[in-house]
Amino acid sequence: MPMELTQSRIQKIWLPNDNRPALPRRSCGPQLANSPTVIVMVGLPARGKTYISKKLTRYLNWIGVPTKVFNVGEYRREAVKHYSSYDFFRPDNEEAMKVRRQCAMAALRDVKLYLTEEAGQIAVFDATNTTRERRGMILNFAKENGFKVFFIESVCNDPNVVATNVMEVKLSSPDYRDCNSTDAMEDFMKRINCYQASYQPLDPDDYDRELSLIKVIDVGRRFLVNRVQDHIQSRIVYYLMNIHVQPRTIYLCRHGESEFNLKGRIGGDSGLSNRGKKFAVALNKFVEEQNLKDLKVWTSQLKRTIQTAEALQLPYEQWKALNEIDAGVCEEMTYEEIREQHPEEFALRDQDKYYYRYPSGESYQDLVQRLEPVIMELERQENVLVICHQAVMRCLLAYFLDKSADEMPYLKCPLHTVLKLTPVAYGCRVESISLNIEAVNTHRDRPENMNNSQKPS
């Protein structure tokens, strides 16, 4: 007999009408029908492993795959409160080798806990893992627990790139808190030498031919991929092949104030108000003052973003993916009209704004999936100005600032304000620049308490 189904009121998806336990909420991203995965970083110190770990984790969490980094260096700093020198990393320092192994085991225990009891889907094991013995231990651990393993090796032999990485990241590490930069640099280079002697790179042509892996060579100049097992590993490979570390700036802003903004109506395709047109002129002046080489300008396919871009006297590219969230049956209505005509929908959206899907429309979760190609292309580009919409800008900002799905729908993205994003070592610096053109406030704060009249029956 066909199974009876019930439609979820928030997400508008069909669910079995039985007593089976619901899936964890964050599993609403790409479904991993197979085992959880341990991503194992490999490479000498100062090769960008932690940079890749953090950036990849930010991306996977953004697309809805619960992911967490387990940095063995942090476990070591917890176990050994005061770092003295590179002697700790010498292969003949037996006492230190014992401590380092214990730290790796402690991190793996936490990996197991995360993947088996905390609804995690991917754990990133961030350490050097430069020997076959260490990698073998991790493979045995994964086999015992039914986890898949994917290796990411970062290989870089350019001394200038390594020195830059040491200066920008490693010298600010807690290990060198009370050390001058010259001594710290000398100590860290000796630390690298300690690993160099026993380093056994991944060998996909022979010894490691059965492993799933990607080698990232010279900061993305070349890649070597071996035995990709599943959809999520292919997504990881695609992402790693799109990111770069060149200095650049990303500017995010909304269109100028629209006629519908003035009337408090959501969605639609109205043109700019008089103040919105003034913002477009001010944005042109702002862009000229930034004096950027080869600035790319992207808009949605809606009238208000195109009118804003037209004032810039620059070529621009229209993306349908950048269109505002589709409010379905609520398009072109005010919030007061939605509350009166669709009271249950109004309350449901306040209850869970990220997963809530407008009838015949979209949710923030849908929007994230729609915007993934935009993120991929932003990662490939250098200087870009994105002229978009409130919900779209929130999704993009959440990616760059590593904000959760719960925080995303409430990020403040006011009209007539440019957000300047500058990638830094392990994150993104954001600067908010108001262009001093008055506009309506379209932000709705998270409801503190839903009273009984708002709650769905």
State how far the alpha carbon of 450 is from the alpha carbons of 3, 356, 408, 443, in Å: 34, 16, 20, 18
CA gap 240, 382 in Å, rounded: 16
**DSSP character at residue 139:** H
Annotated catalytic residue: which of 156, 253, 330, 388? Answer: 156
Is residue 126 flagged as an active site residue?
yes
CA gap 101, 98 in Å, rounded: 5
CA gap 96, 254 in Å, rounded: 54
**Pick from 262, 221, 267: nearest CA to 241:** 221
Region label for 310, one of left (φ > 0), alpha (ψ between -120 and 50) or beta (otherwise): alpha
Pairing of β 427-434 and β 417-424: antiparallel
Is residue 416 flagged as an active site residue?
no
Is residue 156 flagged as an active site residue?
yes
Q: Cβ neighbours of residue 414 under 8 Å, at least 6 residues apart?
A: 254, 434, 439, 441, 442, 443
In degrees and rounded to multiples of 5, residue 376 shows phi and psi of -60, -45
Q: Cβ neighbours of residue 287 under 8 Å, at least 6 residues apart?
A: 295, 312, 314, 385
Annotated catalytic residue: which of 175, 187, 194, 255? Answer: 255
- Token pair, residue 326, equals 């589709």
Order of strands, sheet of 250-254, starting from the edge strand that comes earlier in the sequence: 317-318, 296-299, 384-388, 250-254, 417-424, 427-434
Annotated catalytic residue: which of 126, 257, 326, 345? Answer: 126
**Pick from 343, 265, 276, 353: nearest CA to 309:** 276
Annotated catalytic residue: which of 187, 324, 326, 345? Answer: 324
Half-sphere exposure of 453 (CA within 13 A, CB side): 2
30, 232 Cβ separation under 8 angstroms: yes
Quick one: how far is CA 427 from the chain centroid? 10
**Pick from 47, 29, 30, 50: nearest CA to 39:** 50
Tell me if residue 292 falls in helix, strand or coil: coil
Is residue 255 flagged as an active site residue?
yes
Q: Write out the catalytic residue numbers.
A: 126, 156, 255, 324
